[in-house]
Structure 1
Amino acid sequence: MSAAVSHFPLGSSKLEDEIRTVAQTKRVRVSEFFKDFDRLRSGFITASQFKRCLDQNLGIQLTPQDEVMLLDKYDLKREGMVNYRLFTDAIDQAFDPNFMTPTPQALTHTPVEFLGTQRSLRPLSPGSLQRVRDILERMQPFYKYHGINLRTSYEDFDRHHKGVVTESQFYRSFPGPPDITDEEKYLLACRYADPDRPGLCNYLNLHHDLEQIAEDLRDPGISPPSDPLPTYGWWPAEPPADPVIRELFEKIRKAVYKNGIRTIEFFRDHDKLRSGIITENQFVCGLALAVGKEANLARTEIQKLADYYKTDDGRVRYREFCDLMENAYNVPDLEKKPTVDPIRPPRGALTRSLNPLTPEEEDRVQQVLEEMRETARKRRLMMYPYFKDYDRGIAYTRNVTKSQFGRILHFLSLNINPPDFKLLCRKFEEPISGDVNYPAFVQAVDKEFTGFTVDKETPKPMVSPEPDVPSLPISTGHVNLGEVISRIRHHAVVNRIRVAEFFQDFDPLRSGSITKPIFRRGLCLMGFPDLPNDQFAALAEHYTDPKQPDKVVWTRFHDEIESAFTQKGLEKTPTHAVPSTEVFQMAKPGTIHWDTQAPEDWKSVVDAAMHRMREKAAQRRLLSKPVFQDFDRHNYGYVTLSQFRQCLTYLSLDATEEEAAAIEAKFSDKTGFNYLRFLAELQPTPAQELMYQRRLKELTLVNQQKQLPEMNAASNLAGVMFKIKDKVAKERTRVLEWMRDYDKLRTGRMKKKNFRRALDLCKFELKPSEVIILEREFQSPVDPDFVEYLRFSDEVESIFTIKELEKMPEVTPEQFKPPVEWQLNVLSEENEAMVKSTMERIAEKVKKHRMQLFPPFEDFDRVNNGTVSRSQFKRVLTELELGSLVNHREYVSLFQKFMVRVGGREDVNYIAFCEMVYAIAGFEWRKP
């Protein structure tokens, strides 16, 4: 095969290039179509099959000359069999993998044009071709500099991705450059016009030509500039000496940190080569767009920063500035420097400060605030909710407009004169938006409200390098070994862990001892947090093997931990009381035993704060838990300490710094702040009563009640059998089919409980007393606990025929006909006469007016069973103006006459009523 490929190199025939182009156009693999004809996978098919595949699957119709050429090339055996495998390798493979060469790109075979498109057949002069080449060379640097992709410019018009657009669309979306004249655009349109589809231009060929020019112009000797080395620290190698520059950096750093701004995103679009340098105007525009509004930068301040980073040629090193801003209050590559302590801003340092005023204006503002503070204290005003109702924008801005600020003050009856109002607005005004910072105003007036606090800055700890000294032995005297073991036992109890599974695989000889590193690894596999070195040393020393000091007796450790579940050798002492597993559970690490360890002053502070918060929450009916759950995304009952204070601020549960710290100490541990415990004490819920015991008592009382009396039950065997025969005749039920499954040996008998079960399956709806009558009648004389169901079945089947009728040829069987239900109703002579006279009155009016009685009744008969309820029967007669002919007693008699039972309810058979009326009126059958 390899010799054949080398004898006919790929791409040697123009016909193969055309077939390859068609295959790439349709996105198909040619080999898949020939395999269906080659069941033995020999690699050969007949010439007719070869031509059929090309014609049907690829749509290629070969000329006689092309057929001869392909068959001569791939008919290697000269037996009329074509080697399709060699042909598909030539078409599908980009190059021959068996032919090694230093320049493999020269052996690749790709279509010259895109997906079978062609150049325009209109010939262009050499001068025009050179002019097109010059135009493309002008276009390519422009596109590269501006990041323009010509292909995406036309894809909106090319919905089917065929690579062509109309000539008008070609002119309309031409992306430039702007110095291209209309004549040059026309020349390009002529060059890339599609010959098969007049009026269309092939923009993909133009795109690929531009890509080829870019490839030709690219100089492999020039490499893109590398990024500058990162700076490790907040300032560059030498901090700026100018205090104004340092102040600008600090202001921009706060704005970047608070708003989460990625400053490099505003500059990198101007730096196409990623050199880290842009022009001065680009730097000024990018910085103003990035943090100009957030940091309230003036034009002169931005120019100072541009001058600070300016190079000798007048450009600006923006990358150094962005690296400085990206690491605001952070250290770059912090994951590689775990011992570095980054400087974080203290809590409240980034809050919005108040605007400075003149000394006279400051005195007047303090005087106005003091008057408002006294009014709010006397009237006990809660001012913050009134301002917060107006803060309903897209986000929680903590700002209101000046008109809203004045409206709220007027609503709270805190009226001041216009000059004082303007002073307050200037004092609490935001420098960017011009709105009023209402939390700062409320905090200045209301002493009980705390909008924000500012902590004192803590100096960065100085880390001195550790001296190179030999390792000292670990001291274990201060370790509470009992607490460590109890903590491990608690972990095993809570997570239901079998300790032996994590150690026995490391002890294949079952000696009961393992090494100390393996013992520590087993503790980690249990999911227990890694112990400090001193605690692990104390634990390993406690379970040290006396025969091998470097090993640990893990079986003894296992027995002590497993004692939380059961006691060893319990089968020998069955009366021993095993303690409950809840005894071994412990609080999480870091939890303070409040009753014994907390100072008395902390207890009084927490009690007073919780009492005040509890009363406020009860008065305002706060739903506190959803506020904490918004921060607890994993629903494990913990939030951070800062999130806890945020929740208190959101719920307006004010607490001083001392109260908040004491509450955090009571409800916090190493995991975080346990807000579930806090809410259980803040808003305790009453214990729910267990309803299971009460429900059991109710069910017992219900089951003790006597059974309800039976309604309409037959009192003798004839009535029961008539009820069963009537049901069987109407529904054509075969009783024997439901009963023989309980008689596997075909004895003709079955137990009474199975007999009752079979009657229920037949859906006879018999009452218990009726079933007892049947059991007593068909009871087996041999065994009183059995019933002769065959005799019962024969009795029921006698409604259709007589058993063994072939032995009695002279007997004529009479088939059972179920009577009409309403005809079984028996009335007294007085009621019968009343019904007769009523029917005659109704029939007389019906005959006189030729009334149709059936349609009004059928409107109420949705299931078409021929019955309606009593109220519906009475309503129809009223609508037909026949209700005035019948009084109440006559209605009752009519109900008794035509009553039928449907699903346990007594309805009226309106069909029998209507037919009797028509019969009395003398109407022809079914023709009133």
Structure 2
Amino acid sequence: MPARSVTHLEDQIRTQLLSKRVRVTEFFKDYDRLRSGYMTISQFKRVLDQSFGIQLGPEDEQCLLDKYADKNDGTVNYRYFSEVIEASFQPNDLKTNPMAKTVEPAPYLGTQRSVRLLSPTTQSQCDAILHRMIPFYKYHGINIRTCYEDFDRHHNGLVTESQFYRSFPGPPDVTEQEMRILASKYLDPSKASLCNYLNFHNDVEALKSQMVEDFEYQTSPPSTGYNIPGKTAEPRSLEDVFDKIRVAVYKNGIRTTEFFRDHDKLRSYIITENQFICGLSLAVGKEAQLSRSDIQKVVDFYKIPDGRVRYKEFCDLMENAFNEPGLEKNPTLDVQRPAKGALSRYLNPLNDEEEARVAVILQEMSETCQKRRLMMYAYFKDYDRSKAYTRNITFAQFGRILHFLSLHVQSEDFKLLCRKFEDPERRGDVNYPAFVQAVDREFVGFTIDSNDAPKLAERPKTPINMKPVDISKISIPELTGKIRHHVLVNRIRVNEYFQDFDQLRTGSISQTRFRMGLSAMGLSAIGQLNLTDSDFLALAYHYSDPNKPGNVLWQDFMVEIETVFTQVKPNLEKTPTVQVPSPESFMVSKPGTLDWRRVTDEENQLVEAVMDRMRQRAMQRRVLAKPCFQDFDRHNRGYVTGSQFRQCLTYLSLSATEQEAAVLQKKYFDQAGFNYLRFLEDLQPSEKPEMKYQTRLKELELVNNRVFSLEKNSCTDLDAVLTKIKSQVMKKRIRILEFLRDYDKLRTGRMKKETFRRALDPANLGLKGSEVSILENAFESQRDPGYVEYLLFNDEIESIFTIKNLEKDPLVTPKQFSVPIEIDQNVLTDVEEPVYNKTMEKLSEKVRMRRMQLFPLFEDYDRVHNGTVSRSQFRRVLTELELSSMVNEREFQILYKKYDVKIGDKDDVNYIAFCDNIYELAHFEWRKP
């Protein structure tokens, strides 16, 4: 078969597979476990048919096998077939151009492109219609796919012919006959009356891309006539290159270190020249518009004798663009800021003739704008609707706005304007604020400082030494006392506010960080305790570090302040017997409180006399004074003003002269106002609650020392206790060792008696305190009387399942432990046994005669179905069955004793055993009365 047919068949298969987005090799690999690249003919056909859905005739299959099958062993080279279909090329094959080996498939957006064969005349008409419609689509920004996708519910790229006519976005001059020609071109040959609009969209977009003109930019001296920075052809010096990079880093927020550190595995801050060039080009090559010579200047500046480059110094310089390192230590430092307009986008340079023509065009537009009083910026801004405020519009939008404003320019002049004001970083967009500023004289979008603008004077970067402070006017003990009071009241841990600043734990930090820690503690103007500058300087000078000038020994400060909690030196856990004084001794009065011990005797006697008179009058009249003061205290701070204090005294009829009121204010006044809570505490002292803690301890000790026990139904011997535990273990199927071994970390086999009690509680065995004491005494360790041999106890409990070390004595037959029945343990006396037998015979005889059913009535009272009822319910059931009249009170007590069951601490009756015994005496069948 000729090679042309094979090529046509391969193109058909390639179109179908690439339309389905299928990786051909992946489906063949499943049949080739050894990855040899070959498979059998039947496997090859199976993959094409089942996996790819390609149905080939016998002639087509034979055509493929003639090319890809090996005639010697009957296998198919699927790897070669995959390479041909996927149109992949070998990277090691340097003889052939890689672009020549690529194959452009026909599919678009996942649909198989199907083209109808038209006559040459019809095809030429279709091409003419498409070329006539492209300018209309490009000008109006029409997208063909969005016009039809609402009708394409299945997203297969097909719509009906009527839908194609209905949503046709053609120009108004397209006739109905031309629309029919287009519809006939894009009709799907395999699906009648369906048009492939995606093929139509693809053709339109391809023609649009052909019409895009690539402008060639020439380098020339910058234009300075529009108050916009221009682009220079080449930087004059290395400083100019650094300025370009610094501006790009600052505008785009680039972290330059991230582009170099991957090349520096050892963190030596030195990389090779090629690595530095790659990192710099990737970081700011496009943003700063760096040429090869610009990058080489930077490389030569930071190159060391061995040919490598110091990138860390370059990154430090760029990271601090228009900033100063360590600015948090010098917040008042004036930062050198860039000049106005330095960060603005520049205009593209043109040659002298073009610059002159642009100036003439802009002058004409400026005169027209001034005559017509146009505000152009608002019209341009309406088209800036992207995700961010980019200050850019497209060429089409730029021409549309000029046409709307009747600023008509010729085609060549429009191209010059687009080239002049095009954004250098976003090709195809116009910097419209720069254009408006060049035309409208009243609009200012960018400003540029002149070269003669005064520069900020450089400030010294060394820290300013703190001036010595005269601490004679400030009492350090009084100041630290206020801080201790603040720390005690707010329960502050001083260590938490300073240790983050001292990462090496040297105990010394800078004065600025010491001030930051004090502010975080609330010792500032916005905190609870205002620490003035003079107070801080006194503290800093008192705790200054003699070895590091300008630092503070914060740990010494912490130790002295936190004595409010320990009252002694640190490490109080090493001396637990030290008597610690009360923390109230560190409480200080609020600022402004008068020390009443320094007043004269006359004032003291006057205050005592006034308080005695007021106290007696308040007691006689049963005056409730606090609500009166609270009416004036809206924020419940405990303070009122002096005038409000006198109003309250008048309202409460607690008369006082002007001198007496002034003395009372002098005693109870502080910086916040009149402390009426302290005044009322002296006027009407409240009864302090009696401290009964010690009394309660003595009463509790007396209760615990009682000789009698409050336990009920507890076991009194070891066998009963073990039987109780074994029954619980057998019922719950638990392992006692799991609860005990966690308390024996060293696996010694013994534990303390207190620990033994604690370990048995989670097992929920229901043991009383006396029963646990019996176990402790029985399994007490011989070496340590205070310990219990819990392994021996566990072996005894585990014996209910098996015998320990049974592998050493295989002939022994283990005896299975059986849980004793509770009613079998209820033993009657010799006197009670005959009475019980006679009672059961009477009841069984009546049940036999009337064929009674006992279970249903008992089950009505057994809500939890545990086989028991209470004694009152037991008697009630017998009454309903008319059997209670046959049993007197003594016989009832004997029945209770015989069928007694302990449910918690309550005595219930096992009605199942009672009914079984009655049925047995009545000679009923098993559970069939």
State the TM-score bracket (shorter-chain normalisation).
0.3 to 0.5
Q: TM-score if structure 1 supplies the norm length?
A: 0.45
